[in-house]
Amino acid sequence: MARIFKELGLKQTNTWLVSGIGCTGRMANYFNCRTAHTTHGRAISVAEGIKLADPQKDVFVVSGDGDLLSIGLNHLIQAARRNAPVKVICFNNFLYAMTGGQTSPTTPQKTLTKTHLGGSPYLPIEPKELFRVFPDAFFGRVKVYQYKALFDLVKRAYQHPGFAFIELISSCRTYGKK
């Protein structure tokens, strides 16, 4: 993100990084720009409020699958439906890791977690499928170790005039096997 901010010439005073709760929540604190650490599920709403208050601001959301695709799911759907000019990076590690490895909305069915010792009985939410109904929104998916592809994808999302969502597939070194 720092490299992208620099390459795109984003100014510290004009750029916002909004984070939700979870493993990704503290990320905003590591950048020298405007930041907001929000309550669970509300990162997109806060980001939209910032953008509505000052459309010239560059607004990014960084949060996890548990935050964005659970409590924040309706905010995500409505922002994508309205094609709100906010850029979202969803760190998807397929579980709630910060609280001990519980099943999240994206946990694959039959995966063993702390809350489903026999395997998750639920079909997971698939962000790619969700975004098929929002043709004006930008969607991209990349794995965290695909550094060049990630960099290019974030640049493309930034250049997209409306809502942009990047699913960043990552693993949880503590609880995950992905």
Domain membership of residue 174 (yes or no) is: no
31 in a domain, yes or no?
yes
Range of the domain at 55: 2-169
Is 177 among the domain residues? no
Per the structure, how many domains does the chain have?
Answer: 1
pTM summary value: 0.94
Instruction: Give a yes or no: residue 74 inside a domain.
Output: yes
**For every one of its 178 residues, what pLDDT tens digit does the chain have, with 9 covering 90 and above?**
888 888 889 998 999 999 988 778 888 788 889 999 999 899 999 999 999 999 999 999 999 999 999 999 999 999 999 999 999 999 999 998 888 889 999 999 999 988 999 999 999 999 999 999 999 999 999 999 999 999 999 999 999 999 999 999 998 777 765 4
- Angstrom distances, CA of residue 140 to CA of 102, 112, 132, 167, 177: 26, 27, 12, 6, 23
- Is 78 a domain residue? yes
Q: What is the CATH number of the domain that holds 135?
A: 3.40.50.970
Long-range Cβ pairs for the range 143-146 (8 Å, 24+): 143/168, 143/169, 143/170, 144/91, 144/168, 144/169, 144/170, 144/171
Tell me the C-alpha distance between 67 and 80, whole Å: 16
Which position has the token pair 């929000």? 38
Question: What local confidence, expressed as pLDDT, does residue 176 receive?
Answer: 63
Six token digits for residue 96: 């709630």
Angle between helices 43-53 and 73-82 (to 10 degrees): 40
